[in-house]
C-alpha cells in the first residue's frame, strides 16, 4: 500500500541539522493527547473543513456526489459517515476552507520533488527528514526504496520517529539513514499509557537496539508540565539513558505548544490537551542543566 503524504514542508530548520525538507506521512500507532498533527494519525484520506469561515454560499452541496453536505443555520455541515473524501467540494469552495489530507506519491515522484532543494541541503548541511504520523509504520518496501534513492543522490536522511514499530523496520533503513530523531516522552508506563496511548516497552527496546547498532541518535523530549515536567521525570530519563549506555549525539527538550489544536475541530474531532501547559523558560533551562550535569552537554531547548 502506497503511504499517504499530508505535507512536504520546505526550508525547515527544526527537524534535524541544517535546512531540510520534511515529509509528513499519514498514519500513527500512538495517540498523544497533545498531538499537533492530528491529520496524520489515520492512514486514510480525511476532509478538513472550517465552519467558522464558511459563508454559506452552498456551492459545495451540489458538488458532493454522496449528498454528505447540507447548509444548516447559514453554514455548511458535512456528514462524515457519508463523505468519501473525493475532493469535489474542495474544488468549488470559493473560501478555500475545505481541503483533503493525504496524497499518494510514487517513489520517483517524491524523490523528484525532494531534489528540488538540493542546493539548500548542500550549503547548510541539511537534507530530508521523514516524519509523520509515524514513518516507520508505513509500507517499508516503499520507505526503503525512498531512502536508498536519496542516499544514492547524496542526500542525507533523518528519521523522526516515536519508536513504536517493529525493529526490523529500522534495520532495513539503518545503512542509509544519517540521524534518528527519537522521541522519549516519559518513563512511567502508566503515564505513557494515559497520555500517549500505549506502553513504552517496545519504544525503549528499539532505542537500545538502535544504540547498540551504532545509529546516530538525537533524543527528543516533548516537555509537558503535567506529563513529564518535573525533576523526577527528567531524572528518570537521564538515569535510563546512562544505565542503558544509549549513544546520544544530542538532546532536544521541546516545550509543549497547542498550535495544532484548531485542526481537531476541522477534522470533526475533540482536542484532549486543553489542560496541558508548557514549563516556563526558567524551568526548561533548569532541565537543560540537569542533563548537562549528567554529562549530556549537547542539550538544547527546541530543535
pLDDT at 1 over 90: no
Q: What is the mean pLDDT of residues 37-66?
A: 94
What is the total residue count of the chain? 303
pLDDT (tens digit per residue) in 118-146: 999 999 999 999 999 999 999 999 999 99
- Domain 4-43+102-301 top-level CATH class: alpha beta
Please give the pLDDT value at position 259.
87
Q: Are 35 and 41 in contact (CB under 8 A)?
A: yes
Please give the pLDDT value at position 303.
84
**46-99 adopts what CATH topology?**
Alpha-Beta Plaits (3.30.70)
pLDDT (tens digit per residue) in 160-215: 999 999 999 999 999 999 999 999 999 999 999 999 999 999 999 999 999 999 99
Query: What's the Cα-to-Cα distance from 121 to each of 7, 9, 86, 117, 291, rounded to whole Å?
Result: 19, 14, 36, 7, 30
Where are the domain boundaries for CATH 3.20.20.70 in the chain? 4-43+102-301
pLDDT (tens digit per residue) in 203-250: 999 999 999 999 999 999 999 999 999 999 999 999 999 999 999 999
pLDDT (tens digit per residue) in 55-76: 999 999 999 999 999 999 999 9
pLDDT at 51 over 90: no
Where are the domain boundaries for CATH 3.30.70.20 in the chain? 46-99
Amino acid at each position: 500500500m502506497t503511504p499517504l503524504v499530508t505535507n512536504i514542508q520546505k526550508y525547515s530548520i527544526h527537524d534535524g541539522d541544517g535546512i531540510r525538507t520534511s515529509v509528513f506521512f499519514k498514519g500513527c500507532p500512538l495517540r498523544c493527547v497533545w498531538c499537533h498533527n492530528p491529520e496524520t494519525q489515520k492512514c486514510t484520506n480525511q476532509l478538513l473543513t472550517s465552519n467558522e469561515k464558511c459563508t454559506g454560499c452552498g456551492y459545495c452541496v451540489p458538488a458532493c456526489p454522496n449528498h454528505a453536505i447540507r447548509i444548516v443555520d447559514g453554514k455548511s455541515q458535512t456528514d462524515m459517515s457519508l463523505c468519501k473524501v473525493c475532493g469535489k467540494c474542495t474544488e468549488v469552495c470559493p473560501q478555500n476552507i475545505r481541503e483533503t489530507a493525504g496524497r499518494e506519491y510514487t517513489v520517483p515522484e517524491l524523490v523528484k520533488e525532494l531534489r528540488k532543494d538540493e542546493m539548500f541541503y548542500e550549503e547548510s548541511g541539511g537534507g530530508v527528514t521523514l516524519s509523520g504520523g509515524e514513518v516507520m509504520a508505513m509500507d517499508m518496501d516503499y520507505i526503503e526504496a525512498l531512502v536508498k534513492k536519496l542516499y544514492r543522490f547524496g542526500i542525507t536522511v533523518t528519521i523522526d520517529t516515536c519508536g513504536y514499530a517493529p525493529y526490523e523496520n529500522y534495520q532495513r533503513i539503518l545503512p542509509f539513514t544519517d540521524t534518528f530523531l527519537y522521541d522519549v516522552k516519559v518513563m512511567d508506563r502508566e503515564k505513557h499509557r494515559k497520555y500517549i496511548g500505549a506502553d513504552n516497552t517496545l519504544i525503549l527496546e528499539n532505542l537500545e537496539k538502535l544504540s547498540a547498532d551504532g545509529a546516530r541518535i538525537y533524543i527528543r523530549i516533548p516537555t509537558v508540565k503535567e506529563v513529564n515536567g518535573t525533576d523526577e521525570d527528567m531524572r528518570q530519563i537521564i538515569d535510563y539513558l546512562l544505565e542503558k549506555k544509549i549513544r546520544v549525539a544530542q538532546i532536544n527538550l521541546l516545550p509543549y505548544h497547542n498550535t495544532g489544536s484548531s485542526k481537531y475541530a476541522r477534522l470533526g474531532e475533540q482536542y484532549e490537551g486543553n489542560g496541558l501547559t508548557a514549563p516556563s523558560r526558567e524551568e526548561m533551562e533548569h532541565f537543560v542543566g540537569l542533563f548537562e550535569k549528567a554529562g549530556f552537554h549537547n542539550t538544547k531547548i527546541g530543535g
